[in-house]
Amino acid sequence: MFIWSGKMDDLKKEEPGSGAGTDDRAVSEGDNNYKFIKQTIRKKPVDKKKWILRIVWTVVFSAGFGIIAAFVFAAFAPAAARILGLEVENKRIVLTTGDETTPTPEPENETVSDASAGSSVSSVSSSSQESSASSSPVTSQGSEGQDQKQEEDGSTADSLTIDNLRQLYGDMIASAREAQNAIVQVTGITNEMDYFRQNYENRQQVSGLIIARNNNLLYILTQQSVVENVQSIQITFFDGTTADGAFLSRDAATGFAVVTVDSGSVSPTTDSRITTAPLGSSYLVSQADPVLALGSPMGYGDSVSCGIVTSVSNTAETSDREYKLITTDIIGSASGSGVLVNIYGKVVGIISQNFKVGDTGTVTALAISDISGLLETLTNHDPIPYTGITGQMVTQDISGRTGIPEGELVTAVDEDSPAMLAGIKEYDVITEVNGKTIRSVSDYTDIVSASAENDTLNIKAMRKGAEGYAEVDFAVTVAIRQ
């Protein structure tokens, strides 16, 4: 290493032909212009603190980058797969119903018959109420004096106060909080033109229920009339946020439909609070049970009504199926929708005013345990086997009083259905299908549901003629409900 001071002109080139020793002379002559400094090069000491900070920042940056990349991939992977036409494998959705976790009150010193789940629960409930009612006047010694003193004070220990009532309703609402987070508002939007050729949006709105989640898709049960043949579907969640929905499937017999929502289009905060509906068992529902109607029982959204079950003995007959109805004393609109929830917060019925009993103006629901199979079929977009028969069961007792043979009495046959094409008529009594005796409408439903398209059902029926009932055979080819 050297330091040079001076001008460029001071440097002279070596003349050609100069002899040996020129270099020494040049160096000697330039002593005044060149100074040589001797230096020792040492390695710079390692700054351990700086390296540790670098390693820490590298790890933190890598972890942050990985987390961001994971979120971005999760958000955009489904959309990218759809754009590129890649198929995303969907797991089959299985819906389960039941109140296995619901504690069943058991009266002390009583034996409960296990003949059936429904009867046992009813007997427990009624017996406990009776025992409490009968035992309430009986207290320990000296109670008469206490009761007399309380009466003199104008109050009783068991009197129901406003605070007690408020607490009771508050507890019921709190138990239904999970189900409320699964309730959405579904809006079907169509663009129409008025008489002045001006475009306007026509909006129809009903309640929907989130019944499943699979591969970033939310599956929402709603009414077919609102979401079919519309330009767009808008879903409004419990916190007011909205997302676009897509029509998936429908069942014309019940009027139910399923739409889907990509959870990636929902804000992370809302998505973390969304729940799938907790499905209970409608087999455990009995008369006088308290229930809540959530959704739009009165025709407008985000409402809650309280009442009791008035009947569980009525049924709704549709093509190839029969469903139990739960009727209540809750006032409802003809356009009402939503769900019935028991005091444990479990959904026990889907409100469907299409099947209401009489002109009562109260809320009627299809029992969840009866329609869970249909909901699973709609959610998985499976085909629905169909023959087109609507019927009622003729029991042994009815047969003895009316003379009609035991079996499923055909009350209606759908036009151009497989049953009509096979020759089945109204008032025929189906007694056997594929060698199995029909003892209930559900027997026939199970056989049809287990069939595939173009399967043949060999049906034996009794048809009334001039000389009484005679057996006739039919071969019905199963179709798929459109």
Domain boundaries, the chain: 1-88, 89-101+162-382, 385-480
Mean pLDDT of 293-302: 86
Domain spanning 385-480 has what CATH number?
2.30.42.10
Residue of higher predicted confidence among 277 and 140: 277
Lowest mean pLDDT among 90-104, 141-155, 213-227, 253-267: 141-155
Cα separation, 196 vs 110, in Å, equals 75
Q: Is the pLDDT of residue 474 over 70?
A: yes
More confident residue, 270 or 92: 270
Which comes out higher in pLDDT, residue 218 or 71? 218
Mean pLDDT of 436-461: 95
Task: Summarize the confidence of residues 450-476 as an average pLDDT.
Answer: 95
What is the tens place of the pLDDT at every residue in 43-87? 667 677 777 888 888 888 888 888 888 777 766 665 566 555 555
pLDDT of residue 69: 81
Phi, psi of 375 (to 5 degrees): -65, -40
CATH label, 89-101+162-382, candidates 3.90.180.10, 3.30.70.960, 3.20.20.120, 2.40.10.120: 2.40.10.120
pLDDT of residue 191: 85
Of residues 152 and 416, more confidence is placed in: 416
Q: Given a cut of 80, is residue 431 above it in pLDDT?
A: yes
Closest by CA position to 373, among listed 94, 74, 99, 31: 94
**What pLDDT, on the 0 to 100 scale, is given for residue 62?**
84
Cβ atoms of 445 and 320 closer than 8 Å: yes
What does the pLDDT look like over 199-217, one tens digit per residue?
Answer: 778 889 999 999 999 888 9
pLDDT, position 74: 67
**How is residue 36 written in tokens?**
């040589």
pLDDT over 70 for what percent of the chain? 73
3-state secondary structure 278-347: CECCHHHCCCCCEEEEEEECCCCCCEEEEEEEEECCCEEEECCEEEEEEEEEEECCCCCEEEEEECCCCE
Mean of the per-residue pLDDT values for the chain?
Answer: 79
| Residue 170 confidence (pLDDT) | 80
Q: Is 113 helix (H, G, I), strand (E, B) or coil?
A: coil
Task: Decide which of 254 and 1 is more confident.
Answer: 254
**pLDDT-derived band of residue 360, with 50, 70 and 90 as boundaries?**
confident
pLDDT of residue 217: 93
Question: pLDDT at position 280, please?
Answer: 93
Confidence of residue 154 (pLDDT cuts 50, 70, 90): very low
Q: In the structure, what pLDDT confidence band is assigned to residue 33 with cuts at 50, 70 and 90?
A: low
Query: Once rounded to an integer, what is the mean pLDDT over residues 292-316?
Result: 89
- pLDDT (0 to 100) of residue 78: 59
Question: Quick check: 339 and 211 in contact, CB under 8 A?
Answer: no
| Residue bearing the bigger pLDDT, 242 or 151 | 242
DSSP of 376-410: HHHHTT---EE--EEEEEE-HHHHHHH-PPSEEEE
Query: Can you give the pLDDT at residue 361?
Result: 83
| Whole-number pLDDT of residue 95 | 79
Region 466-478: mean pLDDT is 94
Neighbours of 294 (CB within 10 A): 25
Higher pLDDT, 41 or 174: 174
Q: What is the pTM of this model?
A: 0.69
Q: At residue 88, does pLDDT exceed 70? A: no
Whether 247 and 234 have beta carbons less than 8 Å apart is answered as no
- At residue 279 the predicted structure's pLDDT band, cuts being 50, 70 and 90, is very high
Using 50, 70 and 90 to split pLDDT, how confident is the model at 92? confident
